[in-house]
Amino acid sequence: MASETFQQHFDYVKDKPLRVTGLRIDGNLRTRDWVVEREFTAVLESQTLDELKDRLLEASGRLKDLDIFSYIDIECDAGPPGIPGSTELVVTLKEKQTTALSAGTFVQGGEGSVEATIKFRNLCGTADTYEIQVEKGSQQSSTYTISAVQPRLGGSDAEVEARVFKSEISHQKHSSYKEDFQGFSSHFRSGNHELCYELAMRQISPTLPRASKMIEKHRGPQLKSSLKHTFLFDNRDSVYRPTAGVALRMQTEVAGLGSPTANLLRFVRQELNAHVVIPLNYGLGITLAGSAGVVVPWGEGWSTQVTSISDRFFIGGPSSLRGFRTRGVGPSDARRQGKDADSKTAASSTKKPKKEIKRDYLGGDLKWTGFAALTWRLPNKYLQALDAQGQLFVDAGNVVALSGLGVDGMRKAANNVFNDFRVTTGVGITFPTRVGRIELNFCNVRQFREHDRVKQGFQFGIMPLGW
């Protein structure tokens, strides 16, 4: 009854003239006044109570997005007695602690990793953020990053970020090499767009004595100076287990900016990812996902130049092509004769040795993948509590090499990308978690090629969040 009376009174006065005469801010011990005031610029121009309500909700949301306040309260007090129909806003804030420590785990490229981050908030009182992040992988990969972010650049929705990094990424298991990467990047983000410039030195090093000849050809230093644009659209209702919506991500990268040097990488790389979720009746749904990408060198003699293995596309594994091992699809080269240190260790161990990988997977310059699934809620109450669902799916894709083949060879290889593809069908269960979507699938690989690393039967994996 009280709520109905309030609504009736609000409906009566919501369109009457209103004037906001002032803004008072309390509790911002570190945060500068103008950081808060700029979020209320539109609020101060409100001319009716209904307009004020909508703009206050927007301003409150923008303050929360700054991630520097643990408490936000906005009150409307009566304005000066001499100004009828006026109000004064009182904003009461409680700032978050300047330091925050977090840790987590994730899976990328078939490698499990642990990360720890220390964050410093609002040190300059401008909603600025500084982070130090350390990642350690199960296959001896490591990354160290220091970054600084300034949101609301010039009062707009844009933000800028500067980042310095050093990483060592191991691909020994699948491709017998590692890459050491160090440099810096700058980012500009606004709306659905991000522009990134990166300058880094990369060292490719074979990690096994038996590394293939093709891996050996990539040995050495590489200088990367690139500009990358990312467009992202996402209206899905959840990043953990979406039930409706569309997501689209498109990345364009041009490398080779600056004065030409012997080690300067020159290429153009384009990648597109799409995800569509369509709800049906009775708890059913349809999920469609796909990706496509191409990378080609540019400059003099571009058609006979070879792209770096670190810039190519790899497919295989639960995150790209189910029913195959991680990075286990596409061009490969036989490892050389002999024994690696890992093989000697396995031979002296009493444990049953793992199946030896005899080829190095090289990735490709042109790829596509497609995924379609019928999903449903599971009837078991315990599985429902985990938000688990079943899926009946078909997965397909291919990746081919283009660079170094000449124009005619590139054209021929591109024509084969849709004629010589892999196909997997299967059924499985998925569980959404904060580190990614866990999948347990039973896969039936229908089409594969010689040297593909096929995984028939049960396959366990973790899909990255959002895709």
CATH 2.40.160.50 segments of the chain: 236-345+355-463
Kindly state the average pLDDT of the residues 427-448: 92
152 touches 31 (CB < 8 A): no
Whether the per-residue pLDDT at 214 is higher than 90: the answer is: yes
327 touches 175 (CB < 8 A): yes
Report the C-alpha dihedral over residues 446, 449, 450, 454, rounded to 10 degrees.
Answer: -50
The pLDDT of residue 104 is: 80
Kindly state the average pLDDT of the residues 196-211: 93
Kindly state the average pLDDT of the residues 266-293: 96
Whether the per-residue pLDDT at 279 is higher than 80: the answer is: yes
295 touches 267 (CB < 8 A): yes
**Each residue's pLDDT tens digit, 58-69:** 999 999 999 999
Averaged pLDDT score across all residues of the chain: 89
Whether the per-residue pLDDT at 17 is higher than 90: the answer is: no
Burial class from Cβ neighbours inside 10 Å (0-12, 13-18, 19+) for residue 337 reads exposed
- Model confidence band, residue 5 (pLDDT cutoffs 50, 70, 90): low
**Each residue's pLDDT tens digit, 331-375:** 999 998 766 545 444 444 445 555 678 899 999 999 999 999 999
The pLDDT of residue 107 is: 67
Whether the per-residue pLDDT at 454 is higher than 60: the answer is: yes
Q: What's the rounded Cα separation, in Å, for the pair 94 and 97?
A: 10
The pLDDT of residue 11 is: 60
Q: What are phi and psi of 9, to 5 degrees?
A: -65, -40
Q: What's the rounded Cα separation, in Å, for the pair 359 and 338?
A: 13
**Residue of 239, 234, 426 whose CA lies nearest to 318:** 426
Which tokens in the block code for residue 332?
């490969």
Whether the per-residue pLDDT at 198 is higher than 80: the answer is: yes
Which is more confidently placed, 312 or 50? 312
Kindly state the average pLDDT of the residues 200-209: 92
Beta-carbon contacts of 11 under 8 Å, excluding residues fewer than 6 positions away, are none
Cα of first residue to Cα of last residue in the chain, in angstroms, is: 47
State the SS3 of the chain.
CHHHHHHHHHHHHCCCECEEEEEEEECCCCCCHHHHHHHHCCHHHCCEHHHHHHHHHHHHHHHHHCCCEEEEEEEEEECCCCCCCEEEEEEEEEECCCEEEEEEEEEECCEEEEEEEEEEECCCCCCCEEEEEEEEECCCCEEEEEEEEECCHHHCCCEEEEEEEEEEEECHHHHCEEEEEEEEEEEEEECCEEEEEEEEEEEEEECCCCCCHHHHCCCEEEEEEEEEEEEEEECCCCCCCCCCEEEEEEEEEEECCCCCCCCECCEEEEEEEEEEEEECHHHEEEEEEEEEEEEEECCCCHHHCCCCHHHCECECECCCECCECCCCECCEEECCCCCCHHHHHHHHCCCCCCCCCCEEECCECEEEEEEEEEEEECCCHHHHHCCCEEEEEEEEEEEECCCCCHHHHHHHHHHHHHCCCEEEEEEEEEEEECCEEEEEEEEEEEECCCCCCECCEEEEEEECCCC
Q: What's the rounded Cα separation, in Å, for the pair 283 and 288?
A: 17
Which tokens in the block code for residue 7?
């609504």
Q: What's the rounded Cα separation, in Å, for the pair 291 and 57?
A: 38
Beta-carbon contacts of 247 under 8 Å, excluding residues fewer than 6 positions away, are 232, 233, 234, 235, 236, 273, 274, 275, 276, 466, 467
**Each residue's pLDDT tens digit, 150-162:** 999 988 889 999 9
Whether the per-residue pLDDT at 422 is higher than 50: the answer is: yes
Question: Does domain 236-345+355-463 correspond to CATH entry 1.10.3720.10?
Answer: no
Q: What's the rounded Cα separation, in Å, for the pair 369 and 372?
A: 11
Q: What's the rounded Cα separation, in Å, for the pair 265 and 295?
A: 12
The pLDDT of residue 347 is: 45
CATH 3.10.20.310 segments of the chain: 2-95
Residue type, 10: F
- Model confidence band, residue 393 (pLDDT cutoffs 50, 70, 90): very high
- Model confidence band, residue 36 (pLDDT cutoffs 50, 70, 90): very high
**Residue of 165, 127, 122, 134 whose CA lies nearest to 147:** 165
Q: What's the rounded Cα separation, in Å, for the pair 185 and 194?
A: 12
The pLDDT of residue 462 is: 85
Q: What's the rounded Cα separation, in Å, for the pair 206 and 448?
A: 28
**Residue of 192, 444, 207, 142 whose CA lies nearest to 340:** 207
Number of residues in the chain: 467
**Residue of 67, 24, 59, 26 whose CA lies nearest to 40:** 59
The pLDDT of residue 260 is: 83
Kindly state the average pLDDT of the residues 248-268: 93
The pTM score is 0.86
**Residue of 418, 415, 419, 397 whose CA lies nearest to 407:** 415
The pLDDT of residue 141 is: 87
Q: What's the rounded Cα separation, in Å, for the pair 466 and 234?
A: 9
**Each residue's pLDDT tens digit, 97-152:** 999 999 887 766 667 788 999 999 999 999 999 999 999 987 788 999 999 999 99
Percentage of the chain beyond pLDDT 90 is 66
Residue type, 258: G
Q: What CATH architecture applies to the domain 2-95?
A: Roll (3.10)
